[in-house]
């Protein structure tokens, strides 16, 4: 299969390597010609230490390969998905299988990433979201990983499953893109909160409390949006929460850690040195939850810290001081 991966960050590069291992002809797109040429020549990505790019992987700044692509993957940051979809629209071949590997909700519209892509490209393309506990650094090094491909059409999800599954990357299918994508956005916000707790010196109990209650928050949001609460118990929900809230690879957790240690928001984001999706997701998830009438105290607390100047050292205090209630 001819495949194009849009976005040569860590995740896009790791997915390109994965697709090469699966036997596809793959082009990795970087909109900057100079950076594309450098990656093509050096066969490395600085964000994936220890990983060498396959010789057969092409890195290009041109969109010409889209004309022959049977599979196109959106692996750009969530804030760039609409612009990228608009940019590639004239070059896409009708019927191309599209995959969104971006996690987030568009702030202005509260649309999920597949909805953003659909609004720009129309109905002529099968469309699936790919999500789950999958740090790019580990996928690039062929560590066993599991994800879920979610599309409203089972056939599209099965095609993505077949295209991406290898001996070290296992893909399950789902017909709940709403749940899968909303879990992917919420988990980045929660990872920031867990990082704050770590930065403040709290321990495993605090992290477990945040992760478990986050499943509850995500479940209520997913249900109200029309998805299935069962999705929150799967790879896109619990699985992604565990990996993002605990791993040294997590940019969201690292940003929260720095905030908990006393850095200002801008300084923490700059020190991470890469896109912190949870920063953007905190705003969009808050907007969506308010529109749907869902109470999300953890996400709201993270939002107030990031955008309202709420002191990081008081976040857990505020959450622990809420009125007591039944668990379910």
What are the boundaries of each domain within the chain? 2-175, 178-320
Q: Which of 86, 81, 88 is nearest to 67 (CA)?
A: 88
Starting at the edge strand that comes first in sequence, how are the strands of the sheet with 71-74 ordered? 58-60, 25-29, 2-6, 71-74, 97-100, 127-131, 145-150, 169-174
Asked if the domains at 2-175 and 178-320 fall in one CATH topology, the answer is no
What span, in angstroms and rounded, lies between the C-alpha atoms of 109 and 301?
22
- Domain at 178-320, CATH from 2.60.40.10, 1.10.1040.10, 3.40.605.10, 3.40.50.2300: 1.10.1040.10
pLDDT tens-digit series, residues 146-201: 999 999 999 999 999 999 999 999 999 999 999 999 999 999 999 999 999 999 99
Confidence of residue 273 (pLDDT cuts 50, 70, 90): confident
H/E run at residue 85: helix 81-88
* Two structure tokens written together for 117: 């892509």
What span, in angstroms and rounded, lies between the C-alpha atoms of 62 and 164?
24
- Domain at 2-175, CATH from 3.40.50.20, 3.10.20.740, 3.40.50.720, 3.40.50.2300: 3.40.50.720
User: Residue 274: its pLDDT value, please?
Assistant: 85
Least trusted range by pLDDT, from 64-68, 211-215, 268-272, 273-277: 273-277
User: Residue 243: its pLDDT value, please?
Assistant: 96
Per-residue pLDDT for 128 more than 90? Answer: yes
Phi-psi region of 16 (alpha: psi -120 to 50; beta: other; left: phi over 0): alpha
Confidence of residue 328 (pLDDT cuts 50, 70, 90): confident
Per-residue pLDDT for 316 more than 90? Answer: no
DSSP 239: I
**Which residues carry out catalysis?**
187
Percent of the chain that is helix, strand, coil (3-state, to 5): 55, 10, 30
Residues 102-116 as b or e (16 or more Cβ within 10 Å = b): bbbbbbeebbbbbbb
Q: Which of 141, 164, 184, 133 is nearest to 45 (CA)?
A: 141
């Amino acid at each position: 299969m001819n495949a194009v991966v849009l976005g040569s960050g860590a995740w896009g590069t790791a997915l390109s390597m994965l697709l090469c291992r699966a036997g596809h002809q793959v082009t990795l797109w970087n909109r900057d010609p100079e950076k594309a040429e450098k990656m093509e020549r050096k066969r490395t990505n600085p964000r994936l230490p220890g990983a060498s790019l396959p010789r057969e992987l092409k890195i290009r700044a041109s969109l010409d390969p889209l004309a022959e692509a049977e599979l196109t993957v959106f692996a750009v940051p969530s804030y760039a998905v609409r612009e990228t979809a608009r940019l590639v629209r004239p070059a896409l071949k009708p019927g191309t299988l599209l995959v969104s590997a971006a996690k987030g909700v568009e702030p202005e519209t509260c649309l999920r990433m597949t909805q953003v892509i659909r609004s720009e490209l129309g109905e002529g393309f099968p469309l699936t979201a790919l999500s789950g506990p999958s740090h790019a650094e580990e996928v690039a090094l062929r560590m066993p990983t599991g994800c879920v491909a979610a599309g409203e059409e089972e056939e599209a999800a099965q095609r993505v499953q077949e295209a991406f599954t290898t001996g070290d990357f296992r893909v399950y299918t789902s017909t709940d893109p709403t749940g899968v994508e909303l879990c992917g956005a919420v988990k980045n916000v929660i990872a920031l909160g867990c990082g704050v707790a770590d930065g403040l010196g709290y321990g495993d109990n605090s992290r477990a409390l945040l992760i478990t209650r986050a499943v509850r928050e995500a479940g209520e949001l997913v249900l109200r949006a029309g998805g299935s609460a069962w999705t929150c118990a799967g790879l896109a929900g619990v699985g992604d929460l565990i990996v993002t809230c605990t791993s040294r690879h997590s940019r969201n957790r690292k940003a929260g850690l720095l905030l908990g240690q006393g850095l200002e928001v801008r300084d923490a984001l700059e020190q991470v040195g890469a896109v912190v999706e949870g920063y953007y997701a905190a705003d969009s998830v808050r907007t969506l939850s308010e529109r749907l009438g869902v109470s999300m105290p953890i996400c709201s607390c993270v939002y107030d810290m990031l955008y309202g100047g709420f002191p990081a050292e008081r976040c857990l205090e505020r959450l622990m001081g809420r009125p007591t209630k039944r668990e379910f």
